Amino acid sequence: MGNTQRLGALLCVVVMLLGCQSVRSGLTEEQQTTLPTYDKVQARADERVGAIDRFWATAVVGLRYVDVDGKKRRQQGEGHFQVVKPANVALTIGKLGEIYLLLGCDDDQFWWIERLDEKVAYVGDQNGARDLALRRMGVPVLPTDLLMLADLNAWPAPGSESAGTVIECEREDFDPSQIFAVRFVEPDRIRVVYLTRLAFEPVGVDLISPRGELIARSDLSNFERVLNHIDPLQHQRVPTRITVEVPSAQSRIELTLSRAEISSRRPKPVVFDFSELVRRFRIDTIVRLEDIQREPAP
């Protein structure tokens, strides 16, 4: 083959490679520079999570936190992530079928049950629980925060007072040419959901205090369809890889979900019944959050 032919073949290869890269990005120049309307993004979110009012999945959980005594702890195990909206959430962690940590809540209160060095249950009211949980007990996030950080709640309707505002992405670890954001101003926080420009799929969520401080940050990936036994025609999809960072509490949660399903047989009501959980797990001590006087960690 002559030099001219070789050069021509090389140019063809380069053109094909560049073409493949363009196809893989999937974004037109207009998509990279123009923000979609909230109506379009909300409609896609409604298809994805709007009808999820109950949810059950197995979970591999990695947990790093600072406990009530100011000690850094790391836990790894398997359990379940269970939800009955609007406010019933439970995340369990255990090994070999034995639960040793349970984070949960119902309409009125939230709890953290430990079966480690001792059997103790910490419990507090939902109202004002976040500051108590973080400052006095080291709980990484409230159970209901997990719904927001995994973007599993239905989005407000367009035109409503709580509807979000579509904005450019300013999170440092995301590429703004590929990612945009939707900002929700809520009574006790600002929530920012980051989505791909191509498919409007969430890749992360920030929860920010009214003072502008980062409460928690998540990364979301590996979306899979939920098996819906109640309405098989629905096509809900959830992230099966969820990572949550809580800087103020030096905490991190890593969730890998599988076997996600929507059914009438689970979750079972007992997982949201604090009194029954205390009885079944033979908890020795119950501590109200407001009674804890936590010393700051050195």
Residue 132: what pLDDT? Answer: 59
Q: Tell whether 15 is covered by a domain.
A: no
Q: Tell whether 297 is covered by a domain.
A: no
Confidence of residue 116 (pLDDT cuts 50, 70, 90): confident
Interval 36-54: pLDDT, tens: 999 999 999 999 998 799 9
Assign 39 to helix, strand or coil.
Answer: helix
pTM, to two decimals: 0.83
Residue 13: what pLDDT? Answer: 37
- Total domains in the chain come to 1
**Are 242 and 59 within 8 A, CB to CB?**
no
Residue 254: what pLDDT? Answer: 93
- φ, ψ for residue 178, nearest 5 deg: -110, -20
Reference 228, options 236, 216, 219; nearest CA is 236
Interval 179-190: pLDDT, tens: 999 999 998 889
Reference 263, options 45, 50, 86, 53; nearest CA is 53
Q: Tell whether 31 is covered by a domain.
A: no
Listed in sequence order, the residues at least 6 apart from 36 whose beta carbon sits closer than 8 Å to its beta carbon are: 166, 180, 197, 200
Angstrom distances, CA of residue 205 to CA of 72, 151, 221, 294: 25, 7, 12, 29
Residue 22: what pLDDT? Answer: 38
Q: Calculate mean pLDDT across residues 90-96.
A: 89
CA gap 212, 215 in Å, rounded: 9
Q: Tell whether 58 is covered by a domain.
A: yes
As to burial, measured by CB atoms within 10 angstroms (0-12 exposed, 13-18 middle, 19+ buried), residue 280 is exposed
The CATH number assigned to the domain holding 124 equals 2.50.20.10
Q: Tell whether 3 is covered by a domain.
A: no
Q: Tell whether 239 is covered by a domain.
A: yes
Instruction: Look up the domain containing 170 and give its range.
Output: 45-291
Strands (DSSP E) found in the chain = 54-66, 72-84, 88-95, 98-105, 109-115, 119-125, 165-168, 179-186, 189-196, 202-208, 214-225, 227-228, 237-246, 251-262, 285-288
Interval 20-34: pLDDT, tens: 343 345 666 655 668
Q: Calculate mean pLDDT across residues 90-116.
A: 88
